[in-house]
Structure formats: C-alpha cells, structure tokens
Amino acid sequence: AWKKHSAREFKTKEEFENEAVRHIETTLARSLFNCDEAAAYAGTALAFRDRLVIEWNKTQQRQTFADQKRVYYLSLEFLMGRALDNAMLNVGLKDVAKDGLADLGFRMEDIISQERDAALGNGGLGRLAACFLDSLASLNYPAWGYALRYRYGIFKQEIVDGYQVEVPDYWLDFNPWEFPRHDVTVDINFYGSVSQYVDDDGKQRSVWDNGEIVTAVAYDAPIPGYGTTTTNNLRLWSSKASHGEFDFTKFNSGEYEQSVADQQRAETISAVLYPNDSLERGKELRLKQQYFWCAASLFDIVRRFKKSKKPWKDFANQVAIQLNDTHPTLAIPELQRILVDLEGLGWDEAWTIVQATFGYTNHTVLPEALEKWSVPLIQHLLPRHLQIIYEINSRFLQYVEKTFPKEKDILGRVSIIEESQPKMVRMAYLAVIGSHKVNGVAELHSDLIKTTIFKDFVKIYGPDKFTNVTNGITPRRWLHQANPKLSELIASKLGGYDYLRDLTLLHKLEAFVDDKEFRKDFQAIKYANKVRLAQYILEHNGVKVNPAALFDVQVKRIHEYKRQQLNIFGVIHRYLQIKAMSAEEKKKVQPRVSIFGGKAAPGYWMAKTVIHLVNQVGKVINADKEVGDLLKVVFLEDYNVSKAEIIVPGSDISEHISTAGTEASGTSNMKFVLNGGLVIGTCDGANIEITREVGEENIFLFGNLAEDVEDLREAHHKQGFELDPLLKRVFETIRSGTFGDAGQFSALVDSIVDHGDYYLVSDDFKSYIDTQGLIDQSYAKQEEWVTKTILSVARMGFFSSDRCIDEYAEMIWNIEPLKPEANG
C-alpha cells in the first residue's frame, strides 16, 4: 500500500540537519566537503519546501472536494521578495533551523541573504498582490494567483557616477520554490482571422483560427499561510514554441534555423517584466503578454470548472476573478469568447456570467497612466476580441442612449472606443463595464475615481457598483519577519503572537504606553534597527552615519508626482541654513540622515535627473566638514523588497509627500508606522486614513489639499506664480554649480520655474519646510516622540491586508474560508 507521503517531517534540529544534508548530498549532488553558504541555503530551502509541498497538496485536494467558490487574483505583478524566511516563520520552525545551521557552521542571516528576490513587479501594485496572497492563505480562503513567469524581473539598479544604470535581473538560476508542470499546458492563438459558420442548431457562430500558436506552460509556487496549514497556489505561465504539425514540417524540410528562431520568438513573450511607470507604451509585446496570460489563466479556470460538470449558470458561484488594474482586462472579452464561440451560449446569458465573475481594482487616477491600446493593433493581434469589444460597446452605448436620451455628449465620453487617430480601446472603461464591482484602494482615491475618471459610469450604473477597499500590508512579513525583536516585544506584552492573525489586538499596547520598561525596550529596538541600517549604509555607500541622528527615509519608485524633488530641495535648504550658522547655533541643530532609494523607469529622464541630483547633493554635503554629522544624504542602490525589510524598521520619519490627489494609496506609509516610525505626508491616499487611526497629533501633515490642486494649477497658467523665496534660493544654489554642472539639472528646475510647476512643489515648499522644523523639535523631546510612536503602532490594526482581504471576500467575491481540520 502507498504510504500517506514520504517526505520527512523534521521537528528537531537534528532532524532538520539530516534533511538539509540529504538534499545537499542527493538533490544537489554536492559533497559536504565544499558546502558553502549557497549550498546551505539550498539544503535549508529544500527541507522547508518538502514541508510546504505536503500541505500544498492537501490544501488543493481539500479545496477541490469542498467544491466551494474560489477566487483567482489576476496580476501581471507579484513582488514576492524572498521566500525562505517567510516559509520558516509560517511553518514555525525557524528556531530549529537556526540551531541546525549553527551546528553546521552557518549564521541564519547569511543563509537567508543567499536567496535572490523574486522581483516580479514594479512597486506598490505588485507588492500589494504579494501581501494579498499571504493574507488569502493565512485566512484560509481558496485562492489562486495567476501571473507570468518572467525570466527577467524588474531591472537591477546600479549607481555609476551618481547615475542610474539598469542591469538585467536574471533570477531563475536556482529557484527551489517553483514546480514546472510540463503536463499543464495551454495553446494560445495570436493573429489569424475570424470566419462565420452556421452550427447544427442553425445558429450563426464565429471561429478564430489560422493564427500563430504559442504554448503556455504552468509553473507553480506554494503560498503558505501563517498559523494554518492552508497552502495556496501561485501559477506562473511561461511561453514556449508550440510543437504542432507546422513546426514538424519545417523541421523535416530542413528549416532548422527558422524553427529555432520561432522558438526564441515564442519565448520572448514571458521574457521580461515591463518597467511599467514609463512612457513606453503601445508595445505589441506587452499586449501579447497580457493576452497570453489572460487566455492561459481563463482556459485553466474554465477547465477546472468544467470538470465539476456543473451548468454554466453556476460559473460565477464557483469562480470570482479579480483584475489587478487594467492589465488583465482582456480576460473579459476572452471569457465572453469562450462562452459564446466555444461553448455556444447566447450573448446575453454569457455576458451575465462575465459581469458576475469579474471585479476590477483601479490603482491610479493619473490620466497618463490609464491604459489604452490602438484598435489596429488589437485588430491585427486579436481580431475576434476586437469584434467582441465592439459588440460589448455597441450594446452598452445603446443602453446609455436609451437611458439618457437628452444627453448628447455622454456617448462619446463613455464609449470604450476613443475616436482618435488611430482609434484607441480604453481598457479601464472595458474593465468597468465588464465587472460587477469596481474599487479604489483608499477612501480619497475611491471618492476621486467616482468624481473624475468614472463620473459618467456612476450615473449610468448607480453608485453601488463603486466601492472602496483601503489597501493593507501583511504583518507577517512587515513586522514579524522584518522586525523580529519588536514582534517579540509586542508578543511578550500581549501574551503571544495572536496579534499577527488579528492585528487589531495591537490596540492593547496602549495600556503599556507609560510602562517605563516597555518604553525603554521599544526605544532600544528602534535604535538597534538604526544601527543595522547604519552598518548597511557604511558597507554600501561608504558613508558613516550616526545612529542617534534622526533617520529620514523616502524609498519608493522615483516619480514626479511622488515628489522626491521636494525632499531633495528641502535637504538643500537645510544645508544652506546649516552653512549660515554660527558654532553656537549649530549646537541646537537636530542631526539628520536623509535616506533615498528607488528605481526610475529607464526612459523617464526627469526621474533619472532626480536620482542624479540626490547623489550629487550627497557627495557635496557628506564631504563638508562644516556640516559633519548634522546632515548626511545617501541614495541606497537597488531598492527592493528584501532591502525594504532592513530600511523600514530603521526609520524615524518617512516621507509620503505626493501632490494631493495623485497617490492612490501608498502602502509603505503603513509599513513604516507599524515599525515605530512616524510619517511626514500630504493629505493623500492612505495617509488620510492613517491620520484617522493614529490621531492628528501623531502624524506630520502639510501642503495643499486635493480639492485645491486644480484651481492652483489653473492659476499658475492664467496668472503665473511667484516662486517660493526659499525655493528660489535653493535653485540659485543649484544654478551656481554647487552640486556640479547646473545644466544637468536645468530640466528639473525649469519644470517648476518655467513650465507651470504641475506638481505644486513651490506651493507646498514653505509648508513642507515648516513641518520638517516641527519634526526636529518633536524629535528632540524624545519621551514625547516615543509616546507618539508607541501609540501609532498600537493603532495600526486597521491596515492589515487580512482586513482588506476579508472586505474583498465579503463585498466583492462572496467567498468563504475553508478551514483545514485540526492537525490536518
């Protein structure tokens, strides 16, 4: 008889060592003689992987038997970071492994840092998807993620002479966390043509064929929950040439080179993650990626549903699909195509199913970021889908015309097709029309989409179709893993780690705010985290910073709307002030370290200029003996998830200073506060809800409000505007060549001085500087500061991605958790 399973469930450090060594010797075929850190990492990862795999199989089986609704999260990005630490903490045997590794002569930190980040995302949107997977598993929801298996993740950033240089991120050399499923493949069609025929029942039907076929191969990765055995699946599709008859003919007729070229062409589809925030748009390969992934995922989902032999009307009771931004919008016409063309359903019956199945999350109101694809391109690549999109549009417009007969302009405004040259398909409109719910990612943002980009749709569908789900973060990675000492301290006060599964329990910490011992411990942990960050800075930047200084951090993608330029101009202002001080005055200055990090899209020149300026300013200030420890400026190279795990716990203040109304939510703001840092921020995105939760006295808000932005911009254009005098002095300093050739920074300065200051840097400058002054004063009163940080941590329960996922489950997906049996 078959044993239940064969992998060894280690419990002691000796058993762990046996497992790790067995993997090193047999799975990797390496001798223990030359067991280096890389091998120790591999052995450890494989030992834990065995544990995950068993629970993974059980979970999938249990979910299939339970036969309840599943959610599929379609996201072109999953910024997972490293998996080993997460696996150890979730399985709950990190200490055992630590002791075992010590026996073998290794330090846990060194082993963990052997792993490369899985950097399959750009920034907040991709990391949100990763946090959601963690919450879905931890809350026992039956859920799968679907994405692409990029050979290259987001590029690696190198700083050379102060400039960003992009280096490819080939991360798949050794990836123990993925399982190729060579038996799970889907053939995906591109190009070709559509023809009509009459079926046996006399119905007009369409077929799409004669195209080029590319095969999608599934790669699966286990997603373990915390404090549960539920282990969900992340399925990544990889592209390869299909081996149909066509290729064999070629091969046989000696066209070997052509056949290899075809192979390479097919493989490029999943080759590289697009560095999204760029002006690079309309690339055919990107559209191919989107369709390839949507079609493979839907085929997979439909195949699974059909196995159940249920009637089609049950589809949306079994399947919820969430569209993470508009990137997967083609899934809407694709499902309609499957139901109508392949399964023979009537249009209306199919469309009802489609709308009931999809939900769409919007992540930006910035018009330049809204996806559009040209009609000729879609016509060429996906001829049948274009027909379907037109049919969806025509039925929708008919309805609108009937409902609002007196409104002349509404049809042009809400049409999926923009009547430009060439015509464009507005993906966000298609996503709204094809979904039953549309959500924004923070309260202000969800309000804004209803009054700006989707205003007409609120009128057409009513307000109930639009809702808010404020973003969240997983406390497992962003507290327990990144800040184990703080996690332990909290657990010691709260009587265990339950708060990691119900973050609202943090509120109980408020009772300890005056507890001397607790305050001391809390402060000591922050200091230790700053020491660790200071070491990192010394190692990587060669700059010695004082851990007692105020650490001021802004790490996120570089973008004009996020206003890193406001930050660095503020730093220059501070520098000028210090330079003008007497020795006596300098004694009163609060020492600061300004820490920047983040990638610029390769083609985004303004963002690259900001990086260059930060580095130049740092070079000058850090070398200035008159300034010394009072001010240091560093740019941390190649910001990513695993670096965030070091940076976030080491911050005193972090900057979330977007022009009001532009940052949909922000999620790192939540991470910093949860780790005992405070925020300087605008009234934007989730900053507003953080303020509501922690209290106005515990956050440093500044700047103009979203409701005033439009008027200010208009005034700039009509009347021009007076440059803030302090900012003017900053610009004069830059122009004088203090930070190197001023010509290098002229586009940045001119965008404010001459081109209308679209992001309102000048309007917000004084308020920003004044608020930074308040922060200095507040930090000097350390006891008050510690009180603020403790109260803030205690009040962050709302921002767990668990809360967020429960809201999606209830309001949008209508799914229930499936609890594993005890000890199951």
> Residues interacting with ligand 26V, by CB under 6 A?
123-125, 128, 276-277, 325, 363-364, 366, 368-369, 441, 471, 663-667, 685
**CA dist., res. 388 & res. 197, Å (int):** 16
What are the tokens at 215? Answer: 């095969």
Least distance to ligand 26V from the beta carbon of 443, Å?
13
Q: Decide whether 315 or 759 has the Cβ nearer to ligand 26V.
A: 759
Q: State the Cα torsion 350-815-53-273 to the nearest 10°.
A: 60
The reply to whether 363 belongs to the active site is: yes
C-alpha closest to that of 350 among 397, 321, 388: 388
User: Pick the catalytic residue: 49, 82, 156, 363?
Assistant: 363
Q: Decide whether 366 or 589 has the Cβ nearer to ligand 26V.
A: 366
What are the tokens at 160? Answer: 């050379």
End-to-end CA distance of the chain: 21
On whether the CB atoms of residues 700 and 681 are closer than 8 A, the answer is: yes
Least distance to ligand 26V from the beta carbon of 691, Å?
16
Q: Decide whether 368 or 419 has the Cβ nearer to ligand 26V.
A: 368
Least distance to ligand 26V from the beta carbon of 385, Å?
23
Question: What is the sign of the dihedral through the CA atoms of 799, 803, 807 and 809?
Answer: positive
Least distance to ligand 26V from the beta carbon of 121, Å?
9
The reply to whether 306 belongs to the active site is: no
**CA dist., res. 553 & res. 779, Å (int):** 15
On whether the CB atoms of residues 793 and 518 are closer than 8 A, the answer is: no
Least distance to ligand 26V from the beta carbon of 197, Å?
42
Least distance to ligand 26V from the beta carbon of 759, Å?
12
Least distance to ligand 26V from the beta carbon of 658, Å?
8
Alpha helices in 364-515 (DSSP H): 375-381, 383-403, 410-414, 427-433, 443-451, 455-461, 475, 484-494
The reply to whether 58 belongs to the active site is: no
The reply to whether 671 belongs to the active site is: yes
Q: Give 285-311 as a DSSP string.
A: HHHHHHHHHHHHHHHHHHHHHHHTT--
Q: Decide whether 257 or 368 has the Cβ nearer to ligand 26V.
A: 368
Q: Decide whether 90 or 609 has the Cβ nearer to ligand 26V.
A: 609
**CA dist., res. 152 & res. 141, Å (int):** 30
**CA dist., res. 185 & res. 207, Å (int):** 21
User: Strand, helix or coil at 144?
Assistant: strand
Q: Decide whether 85 or 134 has the Cβ nearer to ligand 26V.
A: 134
CA distance readout (Å), 161 to 52, 165, 599, 603, 735? 44, 10, 16, 18, 20
C-alpha closest to that of 690 among 581, 793, 807: 793
CA distance readout (Å), 255 to 263, 265, 421? 13, 15, 40
Extract the runs of DSSP E, i.e. beta strands, from 266-368: 319-324, 358-361
For residue 262, give the H/E element and its range: helix 256-267
The reply to whether 574 belongs to the active site is: no
The reply to whether 556 belongs to the active site is: yes
On whether the CB atoms of residues 506 and 796 are closer than 8 A, the answer is: yes
Q: Decide whether 176 or 440 has the Cβ nearer to ligand 26V.
A: 440
Q: Decide whether 326 or 733 has the Cβ nearer to ligand 26V.
A: 326
On whether the CB atoms of residues 224 and 241 are closer than 8 A, the answer is: no
SS (H, E, C) 3-40: CCCCCCCCCCHHHHHHHHHHHHHHHCCCCHHHCCHHHH
Partners of 440 in the β-ladder: 468
Q: Give 586-619 as a DSSP string.
A: HTT---EEEEEE-PPPTT-HHHHHHHHHHHHHHH
User: Pick the catalytic residue: 49, 671, 713, 795?
Assistant: 671
Q: Decide whether 259 or 667 has the Cβ nearer to ligand 26V.
A: 667
C-alpha closest to that of 72 among 80, 63, 81: 63
Beta carbons within 10 angstroms of residue 773's beta carbon? 13
Least distance to ligand 26V from the beta carbon of 557, Å?
8
Least distance to ligand 26V from the beta carbon of 363, Å?
3
Q: Decide whether 169 or 277 has the Cβ nearer to ligand 26V.
A: 277
User: Pick the catalytic residue: 23, 562, 656, 713?
Assistant: 562
Least distance to ligand 26V from the beta carbon of 445, Å?
8
User: Pick the catalytic residue: 557, 573, 632, 713?
Assistant: 557
Which residues are designated catalytic? 363, 556-557, 562, 667, 671
